[in-house]
Structures are given as structure tokens and as C-alpha cells.
A and B are shown apart, each in its own frame.
Chain A
Amino acid sequence: MQTNYLSHLPLTETTFYILLSLAPGKKHGYAILKDVQALSNGEVSLSTSTLYSALSRLLDQGLIERISDDPENSAGPGLPRKAYVLSDVGRRVLKAATNRMQALVAAARLRLGEERT
């Protein structure tokens, strides 16, 4: 099964941030948009079409799931009644991507440290 998770790697920056945004719990499209911007310190500012293309692809890949949300639960008027959650596979892929990046960073730090000395 691990091979299946690895087949999703490496994640693009946008995908990684979207999955990361959904890690704490369900979110609407607009909330994801804002959260991605916040998580990336404003460096990744997604347009609506880019966001939904990514969400649609992630739905097809089974990394996220779409759920109907109670309109009364909605964060505000005009917000769509559909929310997105991370699937089990999505969570494992996100963890695998994080581990992969950690290994990359560790390797880079080690090499850069060696170069300095």
C-alpha cells in the first residue's frame, strides 16, 4: 500500500498547501483559499479556477472527499454548502510528503553544513 501513497509524490506546492489546509478538519472552498494564503505567508495566492481544478483532481485521486454541509453551519451567507475533508489516503500522502521534505531538508542542511566547514 505504501507504493500507492508514494505514487502521489512529490506533491506540487499548491496541492501540499491544500491538503495541509484540510488537515485540521473540513473547510469550504473560500476558507481553503484564505488558509493557503495564510499558510504560505501570502506567497501562494490561488485563483478560484486554480483552486477548483486542484480540488477536482484531488477528489478524483481520492485524497480528499466532498461532504454536504448544513447551511446553518456555514461560515457566512453566500458560502457554498459543500465542504472538503482530507481522506485517510490524503492524510497518509500528506504525512509521506512531509517526511520526504524533512529528509530533503535534513540532507540539504547536512551538505550545506559540510560545505561551510
Chain B
Amino acid sequence: MALSVRVIPCLDVADGRVVKGVNFQNLRDAGDPVELAKRYFEQGADELTFLDVTATVDNRSTTYDVVRATAEQVFIPLTVGGGIRSVEDVSRLQANGADKVGVNSAAIARPALIAEIADRFGSQVLVLSLDVKRSGRTESGFVVTTHGGRTETDLDALDWARQAIELGVGELLVNSIDADGTKAGFDLELIRIMRELSTVPVIASGGAGAVEHFPPAIAAGADAVLAASVFHNGELTIGQVKAAIAAEGMPVRA
């Protein structure tokens, strides 16, 4: 017996609504986050991830309301990413019902944030979100990007992942900017590399377009698979994805 593969829908939330767009541009309203969260829960989602893409700090309180309302009705783990810059941010999110938080650019700007959060709440609370792109800029050929992939940093994605694990992250959310939006399948090479170096669970993200894209990502080493638009657009249900994974003999939660 083993852990089942987790299937995780990701909801981009701005000003209390789910939004859709490509790389955070041309955002369109895609519904009520709590209603969508409930629907995914009923379809068998193993976790939920909210990514707060609210433009201004002032409007972040609406995200706390969304988290709270969701946690009151949906009894599966809830991860919230976007705009987390301090131990206090994590504390507030936990008080509102979040189980895990995702950090990205704030940790790049100040890596000590990882250790501060992990020391206070434990590694299991912290997910490092990595937006990775192929680039000649780094030795491994993979660079960490920010701003939805539009800005390249000087960080080698492999070095950054290793450093973040050392500092205390409990999970890696590996999003391939090269695969993102293509709907041509996950970036299997990147998943393999990250699985090989990582001692913490790896969530694969970016590129899902059809049910047959999921089993190869798991075979490449993903502990969990995350997708957004294929679920929001109604192209796929969580159940269909799980059935495709189960058909390949991989364990899923019924």
C-alpha cells in the first residue's frame, strides 16, 4: 500500500472572485471560489490551491474571507499562495483555515523567509512555488522566473530548489513556464530532474490539456499533479483525471 497520487485543482483568485487569464493578463471572471471549491471537492479533489493574484495589498482581506468560507465547507487540505511575505501573513491565513502556504517571489528576494516560516510552523506548512524556464543563463539550463515567467532571475532552478529544501520547505510546486498554456502535456524532463534532487514531495504543474497527460507526469516522479484551466473550462473533471491515472495502475483516492 502506498500514498495515492494527489490531484489538485488550482484557483486564481482576485478580489474575492476566481479569475482566468494567461500569465495574469486579461483576467476574466470565472466564478465564485467557494462554489468552485465545493464542486472540485465533490468531484474528488485531494487538495485545493488558491493563488491570490489580487493586485493591491488592500484587497487581500477578501482572500482571507474566501479561505475562511471555503474551509468551513470543504474538508480537504487548502494551500494559499500569492503575496505571502512574513510569518504574520502565514499566521493570519492559518487562523482563517489555510493548511499550507506557497511562497515564490518573496522567498527569492529574501530566502531567510523560508527558515522563519518553517521554524515557526514546521516544514509541512510551506510549499515553494517555482516558475521554471529553459535558459542558457544558468548551468543546468533551467532558470527561475518571476512575474508569471516574464522575468528571468539569475537563479539556477536546481540550486534554488536544493537551497529552499535545506532552508525548510516541505514541498515543491514545479511549474514549467515552457509547458504552461501549451496544453501539450507536462514537462517530463523537468519533473524527472526535480524528483531526483528533491527529498520533499514534488507537485507537477503546467501543460495539462488531456487526461492522458497525467499518468506520464506521475511516472516521471510527480507526487501530485496540479492543473487550473482544464478544470475551470470544464474540459476535464477531477474524476476523469483520476480514472486515467487508475487505469495505468497508479493509486488514487476513490
Do these two chains really belong together in a complex? no
Give B residues with C-beta under 8 Å from A: none
